[in-house]
């Protein structure tokens, strides 16, 4: 086994929460508000229930093949088609890592406009490369320390924005029919499809028998953390204005003022995104390195940290030309890709494994 470390069920759930929540704040809010407007909270609830299909499917698949990652399951149990699918998963992990690195750079570019974009990319790739080199246990323990701090900070920020919110902006409910809500729900389902990366982590959890309950609980915690940010910008700016914003929560936080001295709370949002993205990039980066090492039958993934980091850095520069192209990628590719890799494929593999085992029996 290439990875010798073990993490607890709680640490696994916390990695899920951090990784998903940060992407929910950065990109899913923009998608869902654009699609569902004031009904985004309804789309969030429905989409979470749909997303449970992939989470349950991947968890059950991991439990059927204990000690094996999704890449190992495909390579060892599904012959040559499985090897092709495993390579596609590695490409998917690379794309998700590149997306997160570019989002990190674009976020910092908002406040440090004169700094060249490659500088931000180099900094975050080097930081995450070092984290990945230290291993899964280190990533999980660091996240276990930082997540409670981020949650308390987010609760403080949410409380400070209460005075500027008008929740009547969430009315009328379903005024545009069911189609916009359904579209937003699919976006949320696609967001939860990023749980696919946990297929590289679940084999190293200490109590695999309890994984299903823990993972379902993590999904509902993500929903709770999503409902505030999806309703906040709409309540503050109205559905039409919120739908035009690149980063709705960032715009909302900038409205916070305490007296005449404390009025730059946007730094808190940047801190939240920085820490969250670091862990999100690290876990996908780790999955990319570990999965590649398993396909190549190496004894350690650490040899691949530098070359994979180089590929991620170059990919982040060439991925898109500007933020508008990122939005286009999110609307056209991100959601269907995540639904395919995070729900459809795990459920198909689970079904095939059940039929195959029954046939042999």
215: nearest Cα among 25, 85, 63, 27? 63
Q: pLDDT of the chain along its 361 residues, tens only? A: 687 789 999 999 999 999 999 888 878 888 999 999 999 999 999 999 999 999 999 999 999 999 999 999 999 999 899 999 999 999 999 999 999 999 999 888 877 888 999 999 999 999 999 999 999 999 999 999 999 988 888 888 778 777 778 888 888 899 889 999 999 999 999 999 999 999 999 999 999 999 999 999 999 999 999 998 899 899 988 988 888 887 787 777 776 655 555 556 667 777 888 899 999 999 999 999 999 999 999 999 999 999 999 999 999 999 888 878 888 898 899 999 999 999 999 999 999 998 876 544 3
pLDDT at 360: 42
346: nearest Cα among 134, 66, 62? 62
Distance of CA 125 to the CA centre of its chain: 17
The CATH number linked to 281 is 1.20.1740.10
With a CB cutoff of 8 Å and minimum separation 6, the contacts of 178 are none
Task: Find the helix or strand (DSSP H, E) in which 164 lies.
Answer: none
Kindly list the distances between the CA atom of residue 249 and the CA atoms of 22, 24, 265, 270, in Å, as whole numbers in the listed order.
11, 11, 11, 11
How many other β-carbons are positioned within 10 Å of the β-carbon of residue 149? 12
CA distance 2 to 4: 6
Residue 1 in any domain: the answer is: no
Residue 361 in any domain: the answer is: no
Question: Which residues constitute the domain of residue 146?
Answer: 9-350
Q: Is the separation of the CB atoms in 2 and 300 below 8 Å?
A: yes
Q: Is the separation of the CB atoms in 246 and 233 below 8 Å?
A: no
pLDDT at 300: 93
The pair of three-digit structure tokens given for residue 89, joined into one six-digit string: 């998963």
pLDDT at 109: 85
CA distance 72 to 83: 9
CA distance 241 to 235: 10
Task: Find the helix or strand (DSSP H, E) in which 207 lies.
Answer: none
pLDDT at 359: 42
Residue 55 in any domain: the answer is: yes
Residue 2 in any domain: the answer is: no
CA distance 56 to 58: 6
Residue 301 in any domain: the answer is: yes
End-to-end CA distance of the chain: 28
Residue 3 in any domain: the answer is: no
pTM of this structure:
0.93
- Would you call the peptide bond into 172 cis, given omega within 30 degrees of 0 as the criterion? yes
What does the DSSP 8-state code read for residue 319? S
Length of the chain, please? 361
What's the total number of domains in the chain?
A: 1
Residue 14 in any domain: the answer is: yes
Residue 356 in any domain: the answer is: no
pLDDT at 261: 53
């Amino acid at each position: 086994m290439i990875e010798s470390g073990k993490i607890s069920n709680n640490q696994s759930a916390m990695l899920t929460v951090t990784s998903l929540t940060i992407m929910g704040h950065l990109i899913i809010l923009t998608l869902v508000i654009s699609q569902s407007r004031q009904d985004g909270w309804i789309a969030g609830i429905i989409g979470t229930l749909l997303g449970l299909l992939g989470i349950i499917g991947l968890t059950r698949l991991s439990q059927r093949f204990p000690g094996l990652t999704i890449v190992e399951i495909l390579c060892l149990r599904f012959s040559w088609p499985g090897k092709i699918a495993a390579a596609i998963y590695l490409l998917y992990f690379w794309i998700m890592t590149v997306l997160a690195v570019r989002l990190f750079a674009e976020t910092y570019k908002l406040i440090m406009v004169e700094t060249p974009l490659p500088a931000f990319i180099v900094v975050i790739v080097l930081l995450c490369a070092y984290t990945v080199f230290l291993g899964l246990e280190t990533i999980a323990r660091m996240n276990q320390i930082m997540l409670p701090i981020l949650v308390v900070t987010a609760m403080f920020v949410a409380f400070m924005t209460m005075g500027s919110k008008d929740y009547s902006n969430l009315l009328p409910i379903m005024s545009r029919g069911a189609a916009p809500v359904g579209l937003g729900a699919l976006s949320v389902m696609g967001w939860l499809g990023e749980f696919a990366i946990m297929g590289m982590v679940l084999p190293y959890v200490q109590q695999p028998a309890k994984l299903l309950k823990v993972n379902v609980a993590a999904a509902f915690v993500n929903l709770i953390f999503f409902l505030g940010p999806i309703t906040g910008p709409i309540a503050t700016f109205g559905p039409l204005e919120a739908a035009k914003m690149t980063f709705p929560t960032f715009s909302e936080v900038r409205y916070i003022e305490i007296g005449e001295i404390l009025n730059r709370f946007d730094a808190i949002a940047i801190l939240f995104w920085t820490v969250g993205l670091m862990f999100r990039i690290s876990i996908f980066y780790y999955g990319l390195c570990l999965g590649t090492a398993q396909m190549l039958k190496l004894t350690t993934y650490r040899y691949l940290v530098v070359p994979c980091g180089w590929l991620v850095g170059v990919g982040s520069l060439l991925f898109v030309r500007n933020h508008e192209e990122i939005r286009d990628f999110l609307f056209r590719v991100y959601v269907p890709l995540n639904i395919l890799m995070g729900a459809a494929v795990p459920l198909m593999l689970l079904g095939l494994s059940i039929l195959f085992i029954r046939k042999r029996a």
